[in-house]
Amino acid sequence: NLQPQYNGSYPAPTNTDASSFSKTKFDFVVVGGGTAGLVLAYRLSANPKVSVGVIEAGQYRPDDPFIGTPTAGNLLGNADIGTLLGNPTYDWMFQSVPQTALNGLVIDYPRGKVVGGSSAINSMIWQRASDVDYDNWNTVFGNGAGWSAKGMQSYFKRVESWTEPELLFPGQKRVPALATEHGTNGPISVSYDTFLFDVEAPSVAAANAIGIPTNSNPDGGNETYIALTARSVDPKTAVRSYAGNAYYQPVIGRPNLKLLSQAVVSKINFSKGGKSGIVATGVNYIVDGKTYTVSVGKEVILAAGSLKTPQILELSGVGNKTILSNLGIPVVLDFPQIGENLQDHPVTLLDFKVKPGVLTLDRLNYNKTYANEQEALYNNSASGALTYTEAVIGPLPLQATVNSSTFNSMYKNLTTTLAKRKQTPIQKAQYAALESMVKGGEVGWFELTVVPSGGVASTAVNGSNYLTSVAIELHPFGRGYVHINSTDPNAQPVIDPKFLEIPWDAEVLVHGSQWIRKWMHTEPIAGLLDGDNVPGSNVQTDAQWDAYIRTAVRTTNHPLGTTAMASRALGGVVDPNLKIYGLANVRVVDAGIIPMTIGVAIQSTVYAMAEKAADLVKKSYGI
Ligand SMILES: Cc1cc2nc3c(=O)[nH]c(=O)nc-3n(C[C@H](O)[C@H](O)[C@H](O)COP(=O)(O)OP(=O)(O)OC[C@H]3O[C@@H](n4cnc5c(N)ncnc54)[C@H](O)[C@@H]3O)c2cc1C
């Protein structure tokens, strides 16, 4: 067996316990041992003179095969296939409030609750956005050149140990520039699928046939069009590479790094009135129903994720004073922008029947002999179907999926809608940037994907094969929020992504879904399919598609923006050093600081941002 073996039982012990942790005064307390939090822990504790304490609500599960095996966990973030999502050992299992524009539909919001956070349960897709997305962080949001695409590039490389692809898609060339974009000595292994099913290459060829080229270097500043997508998987062992095994396991022995697992942070404690202003003095956390306090020497770093960091701030008295006062929480700092500006990529689902004999992932579910064979291959040689992650992904400019008259009419409707809305300063800046981006066609607006299985858009019939295509809107205009409605730190926050509340967002998904159907009816993929499944071919007109997608919207699991990095004038929550305005020593380092959605899946950006944050923290203290 190629997997490294942890021979003990789960949850595995870390290197501290609740009581000894509370007796230590750490230089830095990191709240959340997830994707970004563990990058901070790894980098800051590299200096033996710096003490770092990490508090993580989930368990420590080194070498857990459900986390490690690419297909065991999940293929698609929001699908109930697999063992990680909807399983309280790994997942916070949040849900949105009923979505007004989706006839009250409630959206499942999985979030990693384990050492490694969401990187332990995600779909492992590894993408980098087009330059313009990061350049906006510099110019539109006022954060300076360090946050531009150029300023971030060395941090993307610092994360990665990249291995070049073995297989190539139709239309793909080996370009040396792909290698120079990537790092080769970083903690996260980045590689490509070595096993594909029968539907990927024909799908790419069909897209090529209708004018969508293959992009041989999607990481070189232009993400658009179809690529063989990289993934965070170790190519030698075919095991998921994530914050837990890449940024924590190797440094568990550092005496100056303590990670307390299964502990829920309930509050940051502040002192007020001194010349430094509002200073965080420590953090409260709950283990087995008992509350402990740990003190902090330098800083509290919040890395609890975009849906939990605002909750911790609000429970600590930092947030909208009306929300806090209604719950009887004493106000430390009135900060109405905390928890606002929630953005996410909405996705809608379509599936198609695949002809008998055409290999898809479904065979693992209904054919025990095949499943056993593939399991043996995985265990003995790190190969076969169990190594699979989604490979065909294409962020397309909107103009590639709709004709110019449709584009012009959509754009006109958009400007009319926006003109009627009251916009906050950050929304004004975002909408202006989005309008210029969509017209420029430099970024992906609508993303196509191929999932070689059923069970996502509809219930799979045993013995049948499917192709699911997930249609994602990459730069939505909808803006939601996450806030508390309870003083209980274990209660889930109120999450409202406001999916499709701006009609443009629905139109993008309607036209995108129609494009996907056209694509799937194009050879050579058409010859492998047995017709539309869900929605059926009775769905034809724009109005019928609109009605369908409002039943089929899910999250792509990329919530962000709830503690946005932007200038004060725009209503940002953190400054370009990721420090919360108005607090002396609290930083946020998680997906919440990303000010606006980017045109790709976000994990590589979260890692790179956290690497940069570690440098910023070190610089502030000369360590
Ligand atoms: C199901 C799913 C699929 C995804 N697929 C992809 C993909 O394929 N590609 C991609 O690029 N991105 C993907 N993403 C998104 C990506 O994984 C996340 O955006 C990223 O990992 C977020 O990192 P983070 O550091 O902000 O938060 P997280 O990694 O979620 O870390 C937050 C940590 O804080 C802990 N925590 C929270 N509250 C408390 C508290 N009160 N006390 C103590 N600890 C606390 C949590 O348990 C968690 O470990 C996916 C996400 C999910 C959930």
Compute the average pLDDT of residues 199-219: 97
Q: 120 alpha carbon to ligand 1 midpoint, in Å?
A: 8
Helix (H) or strand (E) holding 178: helix 176-180
Among candidate residues 182, 483, 511, 558, the one labeled active-site is 558
**Ligand 1 within 6 A of 110 CB?**
yes
Interface predicted TM-score (ipTM): 1.00
**Ligand 1 within 6 A of 125 CB?**
yes
Q: Is the pLDDT at 41 greater than 80, yes or no?
A: yes
> Quick one: which of 394, 474, 457 has its CA closest to 204?
394
DSSP helix/strand/coil, 558: coil
- The pLDDT tens digits for 602-619 are 999 999 999 999 999 999
pLDDT, position 2: 47
pLDDT, position 325: 98
Compute the average pLDDT of residues 53-79: 81
What's the chain's average pLDDT? 95
Q: Is the pLDDT at 83 greater than 80, yes or no?
A: no
Structure tokens at 301: 């770093």
Q: 56 alpha carbon to ligand 1 midpoint, in Å?
A: 12
- Give the pLDDT band (50/70/90) at residue 339: very high
Q: 434 alpha carbon to ligand 1 midpoint, in Å?
A: 26
Ligand 1 nearest atom to the CA of residue 123, by list position: 8
Which residue's C-alpha comes closest to atom 14 of ligand 1? Answer: 122
Which residue's C-alpha comes closest to atom 50 of ligand 1? Answer: 122
Q: Is the pLDDT at 74 greater than 80, yes or no?
A: no
**Ligand 1 within 6 A of 261 CB?**
no
Q: Which residue from 122, 487, 598 has its CB within 8 A of the most atoms of ligand 1, so it is best to mutate?
A: 122
Ligand 1 nearest atom to the CA of residue 127, by list position: 11
**Ligand 1 within 6 A of 267 CB?**
no
Q: 319 alpha carbon to ligand 1 midpoint, in Å?
A: 22
Q: 118 alpha carbon to ligand 1 midpoint, in Å?
A: 3
- DSSP assignments along 442-475, one per residue: -S-SEEEE-BS-SSSSSPPPTT-EEEEEEEEESS
**CA torsion angle 64 70 76 78 (round to 10):** 0
Mean pLDDT check: name the lowest of 36-50, 132-146, 327-341, 355-369: 355-369
Q: 446 alpha carbon to ligand 1 midpoint, in Å?
A: 23
pLDDT, position 439: 93
Compute the average pLDDT of residues 260-270: 98
What are the E-state strand segments in 383-433? 392-396
Which residue's C-alpha comes closest to atom 27 of ligand 1? Answer: 305
- The pLDDT tens digits for 448-507 are 999 999 888 888 888 999 999 988 999 999 999 999 999 999 999 999 999 999 999 999
Sort strands 465-473 and 346-354 into parallel, antiparallel or unpaired: antiparallel
**Ligand 1 within 6 A of 520 CB?**
no
Amino acid at 300: V
pLDDT, position 82: 57
**Ligand 1 within 6 A of 610 CB?**
no
Write the DSSP symbol of residue 228.
E
Tokens 């050093």 correspond to what residue? 577
Amino acid at 403: N
pLDDT, position 81: 47
**Ligand 1 within 6 A of 573 CB?**
no
**Ligand 1 within 6 A of 268 CB?**
no
Q: 116 alpha carbon to ligand 1 midpoint, in Å?
A: 8
**Helices 35-44 and 603-621, axial angle in degrees (round to 10):** 30
Which residue's C-alpha comes closest to atom 2 of ligand 1? Answer: 122
% residues pLDDT > 90 (the chain): 91
Is residue 108 within 8 Å of 425, Cβ to Cβ? no
> Quick one: which of 153, 179, 152 has its CA closest to 165?
179
Residue 558 annotated in active site: yes
Q: Is the pLDDT at 77 greater than 50, yes or no?
A: no
**Ligand 1 within 6 A of 606 CB?**
yes
Ligand 1 nearest atom to the CA of residue 308, by list position: 38
**Ligand 1 within 6 A of 33 CB?**
yes
Q: 14 alpha carbon to ligand 1 midpoint, in Å?
A: 20
- Give the pLDDT band (50/70/90) at residue 366: confident
Tokens 């004004």 correspond to what residue? 428
> Quick one: which of 490, 487, 497, 478 has its CA closest to 323?
487
pLDDT, position 80: 42
What is the distance in angstroms between the CA of the first residue and the CA of the last residue of the chain? 42
> Quick one: which of 289, 277, 196, 623 has its CA closest to 489?
289
**Ligand 1 within 6 A of 310 CB?**
no
**Ligand 1 within 6 A of 283 CB?**
no
